[in-house]
Amino acid sequence: MRHILLIGSVGVGKTTLRQAIHGEDLDYAKTQAIEVKAGVVDTPGEFLESRFYKHALITASYSVDTVVLVQAADERGTRFPPGFSTAFNRPVIGVITKSGLGTPETIHEAEGQLRLAGARDVFIADAFTGEGMDELKEILCQPSTSAI
Ligand SMILES: Nc1nc2c(ncn2[C@@H]2O[C@H](COP(=O)(O)OP(=O)(O)O)[C@@H](O)[C@H]2O)c(=O)[nH]1
Ligand SMILES: [Mg+2]
């Protein structure tokens, strides 16, 4: 599997997405630190929200193949600045989570924000309904070239 780094605000569904990718039960657990599990590097939302921690995201990206910017379909606004992807020397994609909680308008808006942040491709998914999960997993199934 391609190794990925999940970045997004607190509560957008990064950890749940990781659980769904790995076929685990979807159990809520607050992410307190950078966690590495089977090729997925999960990060606390605070790392994006606080400027103090942003460098840690950049360092963590060196261990993965692809950076994944995660935004929820029901999130208001975005924490990703325009051109955020330029901080990383890895391909950057976007995932809109909780699609079942969004509307066509909010999903469209989230897609625009992710593209503005520099996401090359944007996937729409919901870990609970399973929408978009097969497509996402198919993309991630490509072999990894990273060390972890
Ligand atoms: N409906 C729905 N809820 C979700 C989804 N992903 C996460 N959630 C809920 O959103 C909350 C935060 O999820 P979590 O994965 O911990 O977010 P994180 O802070 O980005 O890791 C939890 O209560 C999850 O059950 C999803 O795809 N659909
Ligand atoms: Mg988490």
pLDDT in tens, 78-97: 999 999 999 999 999 999 99
Query: Given ligand 1 and candidates 10, 15, 16, 80, which is best to mutate, with the most ligand atoms within 8 Å of its CB?
Result: 16
Are 18 and 68 within 8 A, CB to CB? no
φ/ψ (deg, to 5) at 123: -110, 145
Q: pLDDT by residue (tens digit) across 1-60?
A: 899 999 999 999 999 999 999 999 999 999 999 999 999 999 999 999 998 999 999 999
pLDDT at 146: 74
* Cα(12) to centroid(ligand 1), Å: 6
Quote the crossing angle between the two packed helices 14-21 and 133-140, to the nearest 10°.
70
Residues around ion ligand 2, judged by CB within 5 A, are: 14-15, 31
Q: Which residues, in sequence order, are CB contacts of 18 under 8 Å at separation 6+?
A: 6, 37, 40, 42
pLDDT of res. 148:
60
Q: Distance, CA 37 to ligand 2 centroid (Å)?
A: 13
Q: Are 100 and 131 in contact (CB under 8 A)?
A: yes
Sketch the domain layout of the chain as residue ranges.
4-56+70-92+105-140
Q: How far is CA 119 from CA 19, 71, 78, 128, in A?
A: 22, 11, 13, 24
d(C-alpha 105, C-alpha 146), whole Å: 37
Q: Which atom in ligand 1 lies closest to the alpha carbon of residue 126?
A: 27
Q: Which of 114, 119, 111 is nearest to 90 (CA)?
A: 119
Q: Can you read off the two tokens belonging to residue 112?
A: 């625009």
How does pLDDT run across 110-123, given as a tens digit for each residue? 999 999 999 999 99
